[in-house]
Amino acid sequence: MPNLRQDVHDRLWRAFQRWEELRKTGLSKYDLKMRGIREAGDPSRFTGAILFTGCTLRSYEGVLKEFVEFAQTQHPVSCLEDIGKKDFRAFMDRAIAEGLAVKTLNRYRSALVKLGCLTGQAQSFIALGQKYGWRIRSLARAGQLPTPARATPNREVLERAIAILKAWDARHFARTDEYRAYHLAARLQLETAARSVSATERVAAESLREGNQIELVGKGGKVQTFTLSADLHRALARYLARTPGPLAQRRGYQSAYARAVVAAGGRVTGTHGVRRLAARNKYAAEYRAAVGSGMDPRAAAAKAAGDAVEALGHSRYRRDHRLWYLNR
């Protein structure tokens, strides 16, 4: 019997190596997507055969090894190219019937789509992945699939947690004579809805701009400009003048944040909870402004939701992200 599990590993590894080679040339994931849109109207045109992170590689490898074993139980398979849409459907149907969570199902379909891109079946697997995406969203809205509990801290708990982080940062300096800025990373996330990595390891002195602005590097290398409160901008400028960057180490910040939330009387939600709270704050502010300008409430809600999702670094038309971050 052919060792398809090893073939899966090898192809995923080569896809990751392709990105490592491209990254050395200065390209970003965002650049590749924009090139695909310009040249073919397809953002996946130049990203389909690439894996961008080691985390994605490990996640997809586990799913795809299970998938190829499943396919081999259904019919004779001599190579990965023998696995087609029928296997895709059967595997996803089984996963849905087992009542797996929405997040898990979406990871499954994404991994299967990536396999199609690596075996010359990109178009058919992408189309099938989109169909299952619609089906999963419909089942989730109908309450027929378990959805993840995305705990979001309330503003009072988060402000107490930031105060605790600030005290811990000061204590760390008194003990070690080394500067630390976990409380500034939390404030930056709260004001920009940035991912934790964008608010820590990707922030340096050159990130700051005039007019209380800052440039943050998001997913895929996409750069966004945000206007901060004057107080936070000054605090960041003072800190980064002493320590040019990065602002903080992501893992250390995530661990300290979780402990601070518990110390503040909240639940351990992970730093993505700050991102969700910031997105909801953005939605509320944009909605009030739109209604105040005389816009119809329904239109104002749609505009505010789009603005909030766009601030997260996604397309304003991503309905799945509206559901995840805004429950709308």
253-267 pLDDT tens trace: 999 999 999 999 988
Which of the two residues, 151 and 35, has the higher pLDDT score?
35
Residue linked to tokens 């990751």: 16
pLDDT at 1 over 60: no
pLDDT for residue 193 is more than 80: yes
Alpha-carbon distance of 163 to 157, in angstroms, equals 10
111 has a pLDDT exceeding 60: yes
Nearest to 192 by CA among 210, 217, 211, 169: 217
Distance in angstroms (rounded) separating the CA atoms of residues 124 and 145 = 26
Share of the chain above pLDDT 90, in %: 71
**pLDDT recorded at residue 150:** 57
- Whether the predicted pLDDT of 10 surpasses 90: yes
Residue ranges of domains in the chain:
4-141, 155-270, 274-326
Lowest mean pLDDT among 169-173, 178-182, 264-268, 282-286: 264-268
What's CA 83's distance to the chain center, in Å?
29
Which has more pLDDT, 318 or 243?
A: 243
Prior bond of 246 cis (ω within 30°): yes
Is pTM beyond 0.75? Reply is no
Instruction: Quick: pLDDT tens for 45-57.
Output: 899 999 988 888 9
Three-state SS string across the chain, please? CCCHHHHHHHHHHHHHHHHHHHHCCCCCHHHHHHHHHHHHCCCCCCCCCCCCCHHHHHHHHHHHHHHHHHHHHHCCCCCHHHCCHHHHHHHHHHHHHCCCCHHHHHHHHHHHHHHHHHCCCHHHHHHHHHHHHHHHHHHHHCCCCCCCCCCCCCHHHHHHHHHHHHHHHHHHHHHHCCCCCHHHHHHHHHHHCCCCCCCCCCCCHHHEECCCEEEEECHHHCEEEEECCHHHHHHHHHHHHHCCCCCCCHHHHHHHHHHHHHHCCCCCCCCHHHHHHHHHHHHHHHHHHHHHCCCCHHHHHHHHHHHHHHHCCCCCCCHHHHHHHHCC
Query: For residue 319, what pLDDT is reported?
Result: 78
Question: What confidence tier does 7 reach under pLDDT thresholds 50, 70, 90?
Answer: very high
pLDDT digit string (tens) for 158-174?
999 999 999 999 999 99
What topology does CATH give the domain 155-270? hpI Integrase; Chain A (1.10.443)
Question: Residue 211: pLDDT above 90?
Answer: yes
State how far the Cα of 260 lies from the Cα of 162, in Å rounded to an integer: 8
Q: Between residues 145 and 299, which one has the greater pLDDT?
A: 299
Residue-wise pLDDT for 131-145, tens only, equals 999 999 899 888 888
Q: What is the average per-residue pLDDT within 202-229? A: 92
At 320, the pLDDT band (50, 70, 90 cuts) reads confident
pLDDT tier, 39 (very low <50, low <70, confident <90, very high otherwise): very high
